[in-house]
Structure 1
Amino acid sequence: MDREAFRDMCRAFAQREIGPRWQQADADKQFPRDFYVAAARAGLIGITAPEEIGGAGLGTYEEAIAMEEMAKVNPNLAVSVLIQNVAGSILYEHGTEVHREMARRNIAGECLVAITVTEPEAGNDIQNVRTRATRDGDDWVLDGIKSFITLGGEADILVTLAQTDPAAGRHGMRFFAVDRHGKGVDASQIDTYVNRPAPTYRVMFNQARVPDARRLDAGFAAIMAGFNRERIMVAARWLGHMQTALDWARDYATTRHQFGRPIGANQSIAFSLAQAHVDVEAARQLTYHAAERWDSGIPIEQVILDVSTAKLHATQAVVRVTQTALHVAGGWGLTSELPAMRWALDALVAPVTVGSVEIQQRAIARQLGLPVE
């Protein structure tokens, strides 16, 4: 299947499976698990996973296409697929056959997963994760609190980063595939204005026992590599979101009349939409350039500049573009009768997830050879 045919398939899937679901799921503040099953049946879970475990064996470029097309309809159901692909890759790339079987079930739509890394005092500062895993015979005992975990209450498996050797710092971390339904694991939903209907949770581990067979030989390095790939998907997610906002605002500006003419005839409106177009097209070029570079197989260290540039621009641009759409909507934009306010609210999470704006700026500055601390 060529890329344009793949894009057409993803667009049709999004319109068929996301369009009818997201508004009711959003109102209920509940993730529609049947959407995950539908995505798996469509081959959108495990896009880059090897075919021998049920994956599509495609590249990051195709994964970005899928993310963009799904996010055009709703960025929050789209992110649920992103999480499956990132968490699943940790399982099959760094795990044993036990973990690969979990990945197979995830790709087949039988096992929802979530990434459990962020903590109250360790958001961008991943190397200071405090959740402890203590060896006890053939088990590990986990204690700690994770925060802002998307799908943390719906997932079957929590791919959890914990400190196994505090003296070793970031080198003493390992991932564990934790049974979310097991004893000592509790998830409570955090009420957020954004990211619905992919709910956010606080996950608490209180003497949660995890068999050693569920420990992965992966830790800090794996999550940082995963984050860099995820940042390309984040850029694609917000690219899709801002494209929808721009398309709507442009159409609204040609049909809404004031003072006897379309509001788009006013330079203030027309020029703001022209700038929004530049933001969207720049995000598109940067995102797919980063995806192509990632797929080329060159060392990750040589792709960080491209990844961080794409992520930084897209996550700042989506705020500008959705604010432009809100402005074009005028007073009606503040009501639920138009979609502009919701788009603007959803975009506010973009600059702070998977490495904040400042983290991306720091990464870019370092790649430029600047001695920033």
Structure 2
Amino acid sequence: MTSGKWDEDESVVMFAESVGRFLDREAPPEVYAKWREDGVVDRAFWTKAAEAGLLGLSIDPEYGGHGGDFRHEATLIRQLFLRGLNAFGAPLHNAIVAPYIQMYGTEDQKRRWLPKMVTGELISAIAMSEPGAGSDLQGVRTRAVRDGDSYVINGQKTFITNGQTANLIAVVCKTDPEAGSRGVSIVFVETDGCAGFQRGRNLDKLGLEAADTSELFFEDVRVPVENLLGGTEGQGFYQLMQKLPQERLMIAVQALGAIDRAMALTIDYVKERNAFGKKLIEFQNTQFKLAECKTEAAVAKAFVDDCIETHLREGLDATKASMAKLWLSECEARIVDECLQLFGGYGYMAEYPIAQMYRDARVQRIYGGTSEIMKVLISRSL
């Protein structure tokens, strides 16, 4: 990594331009509208993204990856959110699931799964949440019982991103129900032709309609013991805790992209819209509201940039990541709401992007750990 701000590095700038061109060409608004109607991003788009080098950004070249780092993951996220393409699950595939395998997987697991994740042959998901267990991961009830050379998995998962598309799913389960957090393991399920695995509903959500957020069912699903992440039982909770800071930083980056898009859309609108004989931008209230939003956005970006720099030095801890997730998701909600207000009645119309952004923003304060859980984690550092 060169000196200077992370997003001003020449290679990162070039990558951002390349991603932007690909998205503008392959996922214009009319295509994305069709995905929202279908409730899922077209599978062929994943293949195109792989061919464009957008899958496996941080995977080691030894396993077919592109050898990038979190700057590239953040750049992809930003380019997606600047265009309202926030339902595409590649960031989860790239920067949540792949790092579990690359960091904790056995050599066999890395060679089996990572190259296919780069080509898009395997699309990944991580199955944590259950009907009775959300932020409390110790409360999962899905069981993986050792039976000879296999694990037999039984349980139900819900709110699973990429749920209708993924064919490589990291399942958070209990291998020892009596051991509390020490009894949690991550077992990978390759779903193609997998007996006992069933996809449930593609859930009807308030926003993010193009994201295939789903229920998953496991009934006597038998997988080889070699699918236990890292090969040792009881490591799942530790593995999850180690990687959650990056996930929470990703949500902060997402929020920042949404804030920038909301501001750009709103500034364009108030410069064109007339009321009482003059442009909306000429009213002091409009100027003051947008000045407040711009200031909040600038402060938010400075904090996120600092978190990214810290993370690149492997120094981002759970407290700071929780602060980023909390502040940015709440800031996004405030700014998108203020921007929608400046659109007046048009802001309430579903066809306007700001209305879609308002719906999409709400979940940012819930997934990856609710705002309330973030406060609990932060308070532990007091």
TM-score tier after normalising by the smaller chain length = over 0.9
Q: Which of 181, 206, 209 matches 1:196? A: 209
SS in 1 for 2:164: coil
1:131 is matched with which residue?
A: 142
SS in 1 for 2:380: helix
Contact kept, 8 Å, 2:55 with 2:90, in 1: the verdict is: no
Cα separation, 1, equivalents of 2:268 and 2:369: 34
1:69 is matched with which residue?
A: 79
Q: Which of 270, 273, 278 matches 1:256? A: 273
- Tell me the amino acid that sits aligned with residue 204 of structure 2: D
Cα separation, 2, equivalents of 1:38 and 1:143: 35
Mark the CA change 1:242 to 1:190 in structure 2 (over 3 Å): closer, same or farther: same
Contact kept, 8 Å, 1:75 with 1:237, in 2: the verdict is: no
Within 5 Å, which residues of 2 pair with 1:221-370? 221-298=238-315, 303-367=317-381, 369=382
- Tell me the amino acid that sits aligned with residue 284 of structure 1: K
Cα separation, 1, equivalents of 2:76 and 2:156: 32
Mark the CA change 1:246 to 1:79 in structure 2 (over 3 Å): closer, same or farther: farther
Within 5 Å, which residues of 2 pair with 1:159-198? 159-181=170-192, 182-188=194-200, 189-198=202-211
SS in 2 for 1:30: coil
SS in 2 for 1:77: coil
Cα shift at 1:167? 1.8
1:92 is matched with which residue?
A: 102
- The runs of at least 4 consecutive aligned structure 1 residues that moved more than 6 Å come to none
Within 5 Å, which residues of 2 pair with 1:110-125? 110-125=121-136
Q: Which of 31, 36, 54 matches 1:26? A: 36
Cα shift at 1:316? 0.6
Range that drifts further, 341-350 or 19-28:
19-28
Contact kept, 8 Å, 1:287 with 1:311, in 2: the verdict is: no
Contact kept, 8 Å, 1:18 with 1:70, in 2: the verdict is: no
- Tell me the amino acid that sits aligned with residue 145 of structure 1: Q
Cα separation, 1, equivalents of 2:26 and 2:91: 13
Cα shift at 1:333? 1.6
Cα separation, 1, equivalents of 2:215 and 2:347: 32
Cα shift at 1:146? 0.7
Cα shift at 1:78? 4.1
Contact kept, 8 Å, 2:76 with 2:91, in 1: the verdict is: no
- Tell me the amino acid that sits aligned with residue 19 of structure 2: C
2:6 is matched with which residue?
A: none
Contact kept, 8 Å, 1:80 with 1:198, in 2: the verdict is: no
Cα shift at 1:262? 0.8
2:3 is matched with which residue?
A: none
1:10 is matched with which residue?
A: 19
Contact kept, 8 Å, 2:93 with 2:124, in 1: the verdict is: yes
Contact kept, 8 Å, 1:111 with 1:155, in 2: the verdict is: yes
Unmatched runs of 5 consecutive residues or more in structure 1: none
Cα shift at 1:83? 3.3
Cα shift at 1:198? 1.4
Cα shift at 1:75? 4.2
Range that drifts further, 15-24 or 198-207:
15-24
Pair 1:147 & 2:158 matched: yes
Cα shift at 1:91? 1.9
SS in 1 for 2:87: helix
Computed over aligned residues only, the root mean square deviation of the Cα atoms, in angstroms, reads 1.7
Cα shift at 1:187? 1.4
Cα separation, 1, equivalents of 2:261 and 2:343: 14
Mark the CA change 1:211 to 1:149 in structure 2 (over 3 Å): closer, same or farther: same
Q: How many correspondences in the alignment?
A: 365
Mark the CA change 1:349 to 1:111 in structure 2 (over 3 Å): closer, same or farther: same
Cα separation, 2, equivalents of 1:236 and 1:17: 23
SS in 1 for 2:156: strand
TM-score in terms of structure 1 length: 0.93
* Amino-acid identity (%): 30
